[in-house]
Chain A
Amino acid sequence: MIRVVMPYHLRRLAGLLEAGDVEVHLAGPAETVGDLLTELEARYPVLRGTIRDTVSLERRAMVRFFACGEDVSLASAADPLPKLIQDGDEPFLIIGAIAGG
Chain B
Amino acid sequence: MNGVRVLVGTRKGAFILTSDEARKDWKVEGPLFSGWEIFHIKGSALNPNRLYASQSNGWFGQIMQRSDDGGKTWEAIGKDFVYDGVPGTHMWYDGTQHPWEFKRVWHVEPCIHDADTVYAGVEDAALFRSTDGGTTWHERSGLRGHKTGSQWQPGAGGMCLHTILQSPADPLRMVIAISAAGAFRTDDGGESWKPINRGLVSNFMPEPTAEVGHCVHRVACHPSRPDVLFMQKHWDIMRSDNAGDDWAEVSGNLPSDFGFPIDVHAHEPETIYVVPIKSDSEHFPPEGKLRVFRSRTGGNEWEALTNGLPQEDCYVNVLRNAMAVDRHESCGVYFGTTGGQVYASADSGDTWNAIVRDLPAVLSVEVQTLA
A residues with a Cβ closer than 8 A to B are 7-10, 13, 46, 48-51, 54-55, 60, 62-63, 96-97, 99-100
A62 and B59 contacting across the interface, CB-CB below 8 Å: yes
Question: Considering the chains assembled together, what is the distance between the CA atoms of A10 and B138 in angstroms?
Answer: 26
Q: Are B82 and A50 in contact (CB under 8 A)?
A: no
Sample of 12 A–B contacts (CB below 8 Å): A9-B36, A10-B60, A13-B60, A48-B79, A49-B61, A49-B79, A50-B61, A54-B80, A55-B82, A63-B60, A99-B58, A100-B58
Give Cα A96 to B61, complex, Å: 12
Q: How far is the CA of A54 from the CA of B36 in the complex (A)?
A: 20
**Whole-angstrom CA separation of A10 from B63 in the bound complex:** 11
Is B28 interfacial (CB-CB < 8 Å)?
no
Q: Is the CB of B76 within 8 A of A9?
A: no
Number of chain B residues whose Cβ lies closer than 8 Å to a Cβ of chain A: 13
Query: Is B35 located at the chain interface by the 8 A CB criterion?
Result: yes
Bound state CA distance, A62 and B60, in angstroms? Answer: 8
Q: Is the contact region of chain B dominated by helix, strand, or loop, or is it mixed?
A: loop
Roughly how many angstroms separate A42 CA and B80 CA in the complex, as a whole number?
16
CB neighbours (8 Å) of A62 from chain B are 58-60
Please state if A51 and B76 are interface contacts (CB–CB under 8 Å). Answer: no
How far is A51 from B80 in the complex, measured between Cα atoms in Å?
Answer: 14
Q: Given A9-B35, A13-B76, are A96 and B82 neighbors across the interface (CB < 8 Å)?
A: no
CB-based contact B59/A46 at 8 Å: no
CB within 8 A of A60: which of B36, B59, B63, B76? B59
- In the complex, are the beta carbons of B60 and A46 less than 8 A apart? no
Contact A9 B79 (CB under 8 A): no
Are B58 and A13 in contact, with the CB atoms below 8 A? no
- B190 to A: closest C-beta gap in Å: 23
The complex places the Cα of A50 from the Cα of B60 at a distance, in Å, of 4
Q: Given A62-B58, A96-B60, list of 18 further CB < 8 A pairs?
A: A7-B59, A9-B36, A9-B57, A9-B60, A10-B60, A46-B63, A49-B62, A49-B80, A50-B60, A50-B63, A51-B60, A60-B60, A62-B60, A63-B59, A96-B59, A97-B59, A99-B58, A100-B58
Q: Which residue of A lies closest to B62 (CB)?
A: A49
User: Which residues of chain B (22-78) have a CB below 8 Å from chain A?
Assistant: 35-36, 57-63, 76
Chain A nearest CB, measured from B62 CB (Å): 7
Whole-angstrom CA separation of A51 from B61 in the bound complex: 8
Cα of A50 to Cα of B59 in the assembled complex, Å: 8
Docked pose: A7 CA to B57 CA in angstroms: 14
Query: Given the complex, which residues of A lie within 8 Å of B36, measured CB to CB?
Result: 9
Q: Kindly list chain B residues whose C-beta atoms are within 8 Å of the C-beta of A63.
A: 59-60
- Measured between beta carbons, the chain B residues less than 8 angstroms from A55 are 82
Tell me, rounded to whole Å, the shortest Cβ–Cβ distance linking A7 to chain B. Answer: 8
Contacts of B76 in A (CB 8 A): 13, 46
Give chain B residues whose Cβ lies under 8 Å from the Cβ of A99: 58
CB of A37, distance to nearest CB on chain B (Å):
13
Measured between beta carbons, the chain B residues less than 8 angstroms from A96 are: 59-60
Q: Please, which residues of chain A bring their CB within 8 A of the CB of B58?
A: 62, 99-100
Closest A residue to B57 by beta carbon equals A9
Complex Cα spacing A100 to B62, Å: 18
Closest to A14 in B: B76
Q: Chain A residues with Cβ under 8 A from B79's Cβ?
A: 48-49
* Chain A residues with CB below 8 A from B57, complex form: 9
Contacting residues, chain A, for B60 (C-beta < 8 A): 9-10, 13, 50-51, 60, 62-63, 96
Q: Which residues of B contact A48 (CB under 8 A)?
A: 79
Residue-wise interface mask of B (235-277) relative to A, using a CB-CB cutoff of 8 A (1 in contact, 0 not): 0000000000000000000000000000000000000000000
Q: How far is the CB of B83 from chain A (nearest CB, A)?
A: 10
In the complex, A60 Cα to B62 Cα: how many Å? 12
Contact with A along B71-115 (1 / 0, CB 8 A): 000001001101000000000000000000000000000000000
> B174-217: which residues lie under 8 A (CB-CB) from chain A?
none
Report whether B61 and A60 are in contact in the complex, using a CB–CB cutoff of 8 Å: yes
Give Cα A96–Cα B60 distance, bound, in whole angstroms.
8
Complex formed: what's the CA distance from A62 to B103 in Å? Answer: 14
**Nearest CB of chain B from residue A27's CB, rounded to whole Å:** 23
A61 to chain B minimum Cβ distance, whole angstroms, is 9
User: Are A13 and B80 within 8 A (Cβ)?
Assistant: no
B82 contacts which chain A residues (CB < 8 A)?
Answer: 54-55
Contact A9 B59 (CB under 8 A): yes
A54 to B80, CA, bound (A): 8
